[in-house]
């Protein structure tokens, strides 16, 4: 491919964190494919040493099917040679100073050479332990920023956040930055350092009480969720990501900063080929559970807009933002990368498409027979869902509990097993509720302006950097690309 297609990245040295994550991998593949004349790509991987970092890179990045187009285009030998010359996997950790780099010579060399810093590293568990969430999602970005400030040639820090830092707000949600200490519910002032101290104090108390690792983990999860809800966020993930944005905005000084806020990331739309995905993303757990016949009832508003966006469109927006904003001293820009504003799809539409797909092409059960799916029941309020669960499961469970008390020798484990499943279902509903009942639309006026600038850079680049959701035909994408991709790459059928 002609190296002039993305002129900006020619001879640039870039640091990417968050490898081998889904989005970071797609971004890496994109740069190597459209601009093989990039000077160097440093990839920060959580590993003990250089050897284990290289092993993770080989196993969890290079060997993935994602790279097959580039490998086929170049040939195996040339592909390996390109990677060897351009890509440097390094062991590190964004949760510590200097990103955990121990080799002082390498550190100095990186500070002298790196021009673009792309931070994709995050923990995305909704109910993450508070200590882990604070270290990675809140203070991790600050550590990356402090590293970026030491880069002599540093031109830009691009930080990947999430559109859902808005919490459970409804209506049109603008691409605006957070003020330091801002809360979503207006209750008091959020002091990030106090949150860190509160977490440390709680951790110390639990350790003094000789709590087990399991008890400590559960307490840390509960603390994160309670602190998030106290300040107006629905879960630890979006709360800690919001605080990370605040620290970046407050401490950036003159370093240009771009914050990319994707919505729910899905499989590739077109590049390097359609339908590639890794792991179950947010909505995919629901699709797969439905296809396996396990989802008889679900809490969701059929009219709620599900803001889905293919991963290659997010990577393209990142590439474009870097090229536009690098070197613009003092600038700070926020971009929503999603579909709800320009080309919305509702939960009801997705449900219909999934029902049609699995009715026509059912998954096969362990016994070799096709899994027959029913349309299922969608309930639009938590109260309706709670009533359904009570009548359908909890009352029969109480009868089983009574039998278990009167006849303890009669299948007592069944009560415990069903009780555990119901509690798990209710916990998942509580975690997913802010997304399946979401009433917001993410304004993307900044992103639209960036789309229009594609023509200004190069005629060649226009088609290579597609991130306009209006180009997505949802019926075609869901039924012919996304669900087949889930089956091929996640379920491996």
Convert the pLDDT of each residue in 254-288 to its tens digit: 999 999 999 999 999 999 999 999 998 888 988 99
Q: pLDDT band at residue 381, thresholds of 50, 70 and 90?
A: confident
Question: What's the pLDDT score for residue 397?
Answer: 60
Q: Which residue has the tokens 């820090």?
A: 157
H or E, element range at 145: helix 139-149
Q: Which residues contact 318 (CB under 8 A, 6 or more apart)?
A: 27, 118, 158, 160, 260
Q: Average pLDDT for residues 230-246, to the nearest whole number?
A: 97
Question: What's the pLDDT score for residue 45?
Answer: 97
Q: pLDDT band at residue 462, thresholds of 50, 70 and 90?
A: low
Q: Percent of the chain having pLDDT more than 90?
A: 75
Interval 127-185: pLDDT, tens = 999 999 999 999 999 999 999 999 999 999 999 999 999 999 999 999 999 999 999 99
Distance between CA atoms of 137 and 126, rounded to whole angstroms? 12
Catalytic residues: 237, 241
pLDDT above 70 (res 199) = yes
CA-CA-CA-CA torsion sign (256, 450, 237, 233): positive
The lowest-confidence range among 75-89, 208-222, 400-414 is 400-414
Q: Which residues contact 359 (CB under 8 A, 6 or more apart)?
A: 373
CB 308 within 8 A of CB 345: yes
Q: Where are the alpha helices (DSSP H) in 394-466?
A: 395-406, 412-436, 445-452, 454-457, 461-464
Strand ranges, E, within 87-198: 87-91, 116-119, 156-160, 171-173
Interval 90-143: pLDDT, tens = 999 999 999 999 899 999 999 999 999 999 999 999 999 999 999 999 999 999
CB 475 within 8 A of CB 458: no
Interval 40-54: pLDDT, tens = 999 999 999 999 999
pLDDT above 60 (res 4) = no
CB 384 within 8 A of CB 301: no
């Amino acid at each position: 491919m002609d190296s002039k297609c993305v002129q900006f990245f020619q001879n640039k040295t870039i640091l990417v964190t968050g490898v081998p994550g889904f989005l970071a991998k797609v971004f890496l593949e994109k740069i190597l494919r459209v601009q093989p004349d990039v000077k160097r790509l440093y990839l920060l991987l959580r590993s003990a040493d250089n050897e284990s970092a290289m092993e993770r890179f080989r196993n969890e990045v290079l060997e993935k099917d994602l790279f097959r187009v580039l490998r086929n285009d170049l040939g195996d030998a040339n592909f390996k040679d390109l990677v060897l010359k351009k890509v440097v996997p390094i062991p590190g950790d964004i949760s510590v100073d200097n990103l955990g780099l121990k080799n002082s010579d390498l550190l100095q060399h990186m500070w002298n050479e790196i021009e673009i810093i792309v931070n994709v590293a995050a923990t995305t568990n909704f109910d993450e332990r508070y200590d882990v969430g604070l270290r990675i999602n809140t203070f991790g970005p600050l550590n990356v920023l402090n590293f970026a400030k030491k880069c002599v040639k540093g031109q830009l820090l691009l930080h990947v956040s999430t559109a859902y830092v808005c919490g459970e707000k409804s209506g049109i949600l603008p691409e605006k930055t957070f003020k330091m200490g801002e809360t979503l519910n207006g209750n008091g002032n959020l002091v990030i350092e106090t949150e860190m101290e509160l977490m440390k104090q709680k951790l110390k108390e639990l350790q003094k009480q000789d709590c087990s690792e399991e008890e400590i983990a559960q307490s840390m999860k509960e603390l994160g969720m309670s602190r998030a809800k106290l300040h107006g966020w629905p879960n630890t993930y979006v709360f800690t990501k919001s605080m990370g944005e605040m620290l970046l905005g407050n401490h950036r000084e003159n370093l240009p900063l771009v914050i990319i806020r994707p919505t729910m990331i899905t499989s590739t739309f077109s590049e390097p080929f359609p339908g590639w995905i890794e792991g179950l993303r947010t909505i995919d757990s629901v699709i797969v559970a439905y296809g396996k016949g396990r989802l008889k009832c679900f809490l969701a508003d059929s009219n709620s807009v599900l803001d889905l966006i293919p991963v290659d469109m997010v990577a393209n927006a990142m590439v474009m933002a870097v090229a536009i904003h690098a070197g613009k001293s003092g600038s700070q820009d926020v971009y929503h990368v999603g579909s709800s504003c320009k080309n919305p799809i509702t939960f009801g539409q997705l449900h219909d498409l999934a029902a049609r797909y699995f009715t026509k092409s059912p998954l096969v059960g362990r016994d070799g027979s096709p899994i027959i799916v029913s349309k299922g029941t969608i309930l639009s309020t938590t109260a309706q869902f709670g009533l359904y669960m009570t009548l359908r499961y909890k009352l029969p469970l109480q009868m089983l509990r009574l039998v278990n008390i009167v006849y303890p020798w009669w299948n007592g484990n069944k009560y415990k097993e069903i009780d555990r499943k119901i509690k798990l279902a209710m916990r998942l509903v509580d975690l997913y509720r802010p997304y399946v009942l979401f009433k917001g639309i993410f304004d993307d006026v900044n992103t639209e302006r960036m789309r229009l600038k594609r023509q200004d850079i190069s005629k060649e680049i226009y088609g290579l950097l597609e991130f306009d959701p209006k180009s997505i035909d949802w019926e075609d994408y869901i039924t012919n690309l996304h669900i087949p991709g889930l089956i091929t790459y996640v379920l491996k059928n």
